[in-house]
Amino acid sequence: MNLGLSYHGPIGVFDSGYGGLTILRRLQALMPQYDYVYLGDNARAPYGTRSFQVVYEFTLQAVRKLFHMGCPLVVLGCNTASAKALRTIQQVDLPRIDASRRVLGIIRPTAECIGQLTQTRHVGIMATPGTIRSNTYALEIAKQYPDIQVSGQACPMWVPLVENGEYDQPGADYFVRKYVDALMCSDPQIDTIILGCTHYPLLLDKIRQAVPAGVQLMSQGDYVARSLEDYLRRHPEMQRRLTQGAQVRYLTTEDPESFKDAAAMFLSHPVVAERIVLG
């Protein structure tokens, strides 16, 4: 079935909630010329503790919606969706829906860069329980850098702290330190930690205070943005399909007013959001 709506259109960016705004921000900083549509499934966030099947179904609904809105290309700005849904969508759904469109994730572009950052070849991943359980980071890193040892730490409390605006409050310190200490205890030789959830950049200051000296933190946004820029350079047929009006539309499955307030924490400017229904 070819949707056949619009041949040209914006880049779609999807996340379970607000975290993908940290990716959108970096995409816009590097490629401000393109139009973007951001979709946050806020009514059903968080995804991090949901099953594979549910995350896949929700993500597919979001991708279909963004295709219907004319996006030739959708970036899953969510590690949990990239870990649990991307492969099936690319291999099974895309050929049936519209083989000319593309859905890209954010785990591979992050994993690809890690080899240049670690000296000890011991890397930590901090992410949602779903991303950690999927083992996707370890598998992607092993493909590129079999010599790197990867340890994962699930951080189930971090997304709720961010979604509830508690990320810069003193109460957040306890949970930040708890998960950082657990990770470093599991492998004291770690010298690089991937923040493998798009919500975590908001906790960056607190995480920085909690990690031992000499351990570097890798936030994904810039790596994902550079990887997409490179992808578009290598795929001019896709690049030509992207409209360049420097406009952004924000869609949410929850109340647009709440989205507006919360989005201000992630972006440095106010936004107007529209409510949509998925499913």
Residues identified as active-site: 78, 197
Question: Between residues 21 and 242, which has the closer beta carbon with respect to ligand DGL?
Answer: 21
Residues that bind ligand DGL (CB under 6 A): 15-17, 19, 45-48, 78-80, 128, 131, 159, 197-199
CB of 14 to ligand DGL, least distance (A): 10
- Residue with structure tokens 């109340």? 255
Q: Where are the alpha helices (DSSP H) in the chain?
A: 20-30, 52-68, 79-84, 86-88, 94-97, 107-113, 129-134, 136-144, 158-163, 171-186, 204-210, 221-234, 236-239, 256-266
| Token output for 273 | 């959001």
Question: Between residues 203 and 242, which has the closer beta carbon with respect to ligand DGL?
Answer: 203
Q: Which of 58, 51, 72, 53 is nearest to 16 (CA)?
A: 58
CB of 7 to ligand DGL, least distance (A): 30
Cα distances (angstroms) measured from residue 247 to each of 13, 17, 65, 146, 225? 13, 20, 18, 41, 17
Distance CA 218, CA 124 (A): 10
Cis peptide leading into residue 46 (ω within 30°): yes
CB of 100 to ligand DGL, least distance (A): 27
Question: Between residues 107 and 242, which has the closer beta carbon with respect to ligand DGL?
Answer: 107
CB of 129 to ligand DGL, least distance (A): 8
Question: Between residues 49 and 239, which has the closer beta carbon with respect to ligand DGL?
Answer: 49
